């Protein structure tokens, strides 16, 4: 990119505003590019909204044939789905395209990113943010509000804070997972769909109460990867429901801790991955 | 600088709709070989299918438990079979197949397809059947095996189910090919076929029966989808036949309906191709 020539990064000490400017420029250029193909842009917006609608509609259809799912009725289960859906949409907007990393590695484009006086991950993220995915966020917020109404969440300051924090913490967790699974490409270029099992799989997993899953599988996904803290536990805390799996009622607040740990793991794995990177030479 | 070439010149050759079987078989073999080289991607795909198999299987078992053991006519084991065979079917019918043809139309590379003495629909069908053959041995077999080891998979009890299931799978592969060909061929008119691609992705998975068995929907809606759209014939029909949700005459009727959609879709694909060739302009230079 031509702008890199006059980046302030070369000039020693920087204030925070200046440090972010190059990424802002990349981000804005990306937005202009995406907006220039208007038709494609709107098709993608509508498509994205339709896809997340289907995930939520699936819950409706399932409750058409059963009244209980893993010990929960429709109202509670739909509330969990709504939190999970918004959390995933947030991560998808920011880092959903990071799985393109393996193409960057394969084609050798990563080399040109590494020689710039900018950090790699922010470069990738600012160049990959897809505005067309923003429609899903808007939809997610509306659906969550409706779901909270249907579920009769007992309102208090604590539940109002948590209903905002839970989707954000969930987004952070999903983002960390997107980054960690994309990092696999540093070791395994042909990893293909491998990461989808965890990212999109996680989206499906969090769509339902944790009680539906078998014990071993639940331990791996819900606890090992932290997915129980995206929607299930925050929803239980807000609804003041007892956890059939035996954890205390304040567990929902742990989602903040879990998200922080996930971030730590993702950055560590990312750093190791970048250090491991050997150009494909093409 | 290349002059712009219209495809009209190639139509003279493309009119030959009958090609020797030998050519077809050779093309299918190349498709098989091509996909058999993507070994690591195949492994990664099997892993992902299995993760989703576990996920959906537990959800469906919870649905069955919530519905008192049987929901919409499926018992627990039948739903297990529905989920795992469904995961195997995804890659076999290539539901989210590549956008190769659309890309070739956009870049103009499709012109070399048109210059061949074999009509493009036939070439692409042959290679896709080869691809499906490889997928059947790997991406179909492996998730079904995982499902059988981890859960109580429903084993069909009627002898007639096996040949019918085989026919249904083959028809689903060809139908999926036909649909994807039409979706890709939209690029003759739109250049960017992303809209049709997204619509196909949604319709095939939701209306095909991947998200939930269509029989979970109200009866009139499920029947309407089956008759009026090709989508249930992609996944729902083979899965219902294999899980023996339908047997005997009813099962055979569903497979005949599949056959109808296969014939209709291939004819439509050929028609779209003919019209598209008249529309195509390859920009040179």
**Structural domain includes residue A130:** yes
**Structural domain includes residue A6:** no
State yes or no: pLDDT of A237 exceeds 90.
Answer: yes
Specify the pLDDT at position A16: 66
Specify the pLDDT at position A76: 94
**Structural domain includes residue A2:** no
B280 or A159, which is more confident? A159
* For testing contact with chain A, the best of B58, B76, B138 (most A CBs within 10 A): B58
**Structural domain includes residue A24:** yes
Tell me the chain A residues in contact with residue B61 when contact means C-beta distances shorter than 8 Å. 212
Specify the pLDDT at position B76: 92
State yes or no: pLDDT of A279 exceeds 80.
Answer: no
Tell me the chain A residues in contact with residue B192 when contact means C-beta distances shorter than 8 Å. 37, 39-40
pLDDT-based confidence at residue B1 (cuts at 50, 70, 90): very low
pLDDT over 70 percentage in chain B: 93
Specify the pLDDT at position B13: 47
**Structural domain includes residue A208:** yes
**Structural domain includes residue A135:** yes
Alpha-carbon gap: B29 to the closest alpha carbon of chain A (Å): 23
State yes or no: pLDDT of B82 exceeds 70.
Answer: yes
What total of structural domains would you count in chain A? 1
What value does the mean pLDDT of chain B take? 89
What value does the mean pLDDT of chain A take? 86
Tell me the chain A residues in contact with residue B52 when contact means C-beta distances shorter than 8 Å. 197, 201, 204
**Chain B: which residues have CB within 8 Å of chain A?**
38, 40-41, 44-45, 47-48, 50-52, 54-56, 58-59, 61-63, 66-67, 71-72, 192, 194-195, 198-199, 201-202, 205-206, 211-212, 216-218
State yes or no: pLDDT of A258 exceeds 60.
Answer: yes
Tell me the chain B residues in contact with residue A37 when contact means C-beta distances shorter than 8 Å. 192
State yes or no: pLDDT of A78 exceeds 70.
Answer: yes
- A15-59 pLDDT, tens digit per residue, is 667 777 888 888 888 788 877 777 778 888 888 888 888 888 999
pLDDT over 90 percentage in chain A: 45
B192 within 8 A of A40, measured Cβ to Cβ: yes
| Long-range Cβ pairs for the range B58-64 (8 Å, 24+) | B58/A212, B58/A213, B58/A214, B58/A217, B59/A62, B59/A69, B59/A208, B59/A212, B61/A212, B62/A69, B62/A70, B62/A208, B62/A211, B62/A212, B63/A62, B63/A65, B63/A66, B63/A69
Contact B44 A61 (CB under 8 A): no
**Chain A: which residues have CB within 8 Å of chain B?**
37, 39-40, 43-44, 47, 50-51, 54-55, 58, 61-62, 64-70, 188, 190-194, 196-198, 201, 204-205, 208, 211-214, 217
* For testing contact with chain B, the best of A36, A43, A103, A188 (most B CBs within 10 A): A43
**Structural domain includes residue A14:** no
- A57-77 pLDDT, tens digit per residue, is 999 999 999 999 999 999 999
Nearest CA-CA partner of B44 in B105, B4, B91, B104: B91
State yes or no: pLDDT of A81 exceeds 80.
Answer: yes
State yes or no: pLDDT of A127 exceeds 60.
Answer: yes
pLDDT-based confidence at residue A10 (cuts at 50, 70, 90): very low
Contact B195 A43 (CB under 8 A): yes
Contact A208 B59 (CB under 8 A): yes
- B10-61 pLDDT, tens digit per residue, is 444 445 556 788 889 999 999 999 988 888 888 889 999 999 999 999 999 9
Specify the pLDDT at position A14: 58
Specify the pLDDT at position B284: 60
Alpha-carbon gap: A38 to the closest alpha carbon of chain B (Å): 12
A8 or A73, which is more confident? A73
pLDDT-based confidence at residue B7 (cuts at 50, 70, 90): very low
What is the total residue count of chain B? 285
Specify the pLDDT at position A164: 95
Specify the pLDDT at position B12: 47
Contact B194 A50 (CB under 8 A): no
Of the listed ranges A185-189, B138-142, B229-233, the one predicted with least confidence: A185-189
- B109-158 pLDDT, tens digit per residue, is 888 888 888 889 999 999 999 999 999 999 999 999 999 999 999 999 99
Helix axes A74-95, A134-150, angle to 10 degrees: 160
Count of alpha carbons within 13 angstroms of residue B130, beta-carbon side = 21
**Structural domain includes residue A51:** yes
- Domain that residue A77 falls in: 20-276
Contact B202 A47 (CB under 8 A): yes
Specify the pLDDT at position B2: 45
Question: If you write DSSP's letter for every residue of chain B in order, what string do you get?
Answer: -PPPEETHHHHHHHT-----HHHHHHHHHHHHHHHHT-HHHHHHHHHHHHHHHHHHHHHHHHHHHHTTSEETTEEHHHHHHHHHHHHHHHHHTTTT---HHHHHHHHSTHHHHHTSSS-HHHHHHHHHHHHHHHHIIIIIHHHHHHHHHHS-PPPP--TTHHHHHHHHHHHHHHHHHHHHHHHHHTHHHHS-THHHHHHHHHIIIIITTSSS-GGGS-HHHHHHHHHH-SGGGTTHHHHHHHTTSS-HHHHHHHHHHHHHHHHHHHHHHHHHHHHHHHH-EEPP-
Of the listed ranges A210-214, B21-25, B257-261, the one predicted with least confidence: B21-25
pLDDT-based confidence at residue A125 (cuts at 50, 70, 90): confident
Specify the pLDDT at position A18: 75
Nearest to A213 among B41, B58, B72 (CB): B58
């Amino acid at each position: 990119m031509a702008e890199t020539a006059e980046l302030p990064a070369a000039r020693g000490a920087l204030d925070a505003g200046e440090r972010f400017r190059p990424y802002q420029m990349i981000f804005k250029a990306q937005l202009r590019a995406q907006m220039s193909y208007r038709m494609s842009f709107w098709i993608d917006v509508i498509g994205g909204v339709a896809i997340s609608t289907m995930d939520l509609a699936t819950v409706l259809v399932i409750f058409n044939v059963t009244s209980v799912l893993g010990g929960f009725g429709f109202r509670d289960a739909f509330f969990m789905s709504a939190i999970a859906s918004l959390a995933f949409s947030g991560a998808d907007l920011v880092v959903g395209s990071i799985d393109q990393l393996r193409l960057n590695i394969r084609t050798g484009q990563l080399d040109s990113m590494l020689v710039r006086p900018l950090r790699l991950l922010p470069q990738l993220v600012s160049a990959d943010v897809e505005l067309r995915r923003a429609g899903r966020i808007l939809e997610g917020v509306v659906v969550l509000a409706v779901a909270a109404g249907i579920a009769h969440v007992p309102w208090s300051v604590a539940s109002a804070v948590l209903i905002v924090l839970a989707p954000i913490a969930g987004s952070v967790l999903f983002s960390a997972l997107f980054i960690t699974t994309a990092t696999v490409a540093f070791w395994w270029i042909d990893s293909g769909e491998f990461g989808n099992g965890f990212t999109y799989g996680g989206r499906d997993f969090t769509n339902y109460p944790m009680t539906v899953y078998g014990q071993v599988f639940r331990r791996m996904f819900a606890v090992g990867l932290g997915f129980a803290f995206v929607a299930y536990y925050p929803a239980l805390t807000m609804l003041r429901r007892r956890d059939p799996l035996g954890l205390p009622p304040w567990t929902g607040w742990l989602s903040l801790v879990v998200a922080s740990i996930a971030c730590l793991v993702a950055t560590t794995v990312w750093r190791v991955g970048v250090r491991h990177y050997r150009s494909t030479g093409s | 600088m290349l002059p712009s070439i219209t495809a009209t010149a190639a139509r003279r050759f493309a009119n030959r709709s009958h090609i020797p079987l030998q050519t077809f078989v050779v093309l299918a073999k190349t498709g098989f070989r091509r996909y058999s080289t993507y070994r690591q991607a195949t492994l990664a795909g099997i892993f992902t299918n299995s993760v989703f198999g576990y996920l959906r299987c537990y959800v469906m078992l919870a649905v069955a438990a919530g519905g008192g053991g049987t929901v919409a006519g499926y018992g627990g084991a039948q739903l297990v079979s529905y989920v795992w065979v469904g995961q195997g079917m995804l890659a076999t019918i290539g539901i989210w197949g590549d956008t190769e043809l659309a890309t070739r139309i956009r870049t103009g590379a499709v012109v070399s397809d048109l210059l061949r003495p074999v009509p493009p629909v036939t070439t692409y069908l042959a290679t896709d059947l080869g691809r499906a053959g490889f997928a059947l041995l790997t991406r179909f077999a492996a998730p079904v095996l995982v499902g059988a080891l981890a859960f109580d998979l429903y084993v069909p009890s009627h002898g007639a189910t096996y040949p019918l299931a085989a026919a249904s799978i083959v028809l689903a592969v060809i139908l999926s090919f036909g649909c994807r060909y039409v979706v890709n061929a939209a690029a003759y008119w739109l250049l960017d076929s992303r809209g049709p691609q997204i619509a196909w992705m949604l319709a095939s998975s939701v209306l095909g029966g991947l998200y939930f068995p269509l029989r979970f929907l109200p009866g009139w809606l499920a029947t309407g989808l089956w008759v009026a759209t090709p989508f249930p014939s992609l996944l729902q029909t083979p899965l219902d036949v294999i899980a023996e949700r339908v047997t005997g005459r009813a099962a055979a009727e569903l497979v005949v309906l599949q056959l109808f959609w296969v014939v209709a879709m291939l004819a439509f694909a050929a028609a779209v191709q003919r019209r598209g060739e008249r529309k195509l302009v390859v920009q040179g230079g």
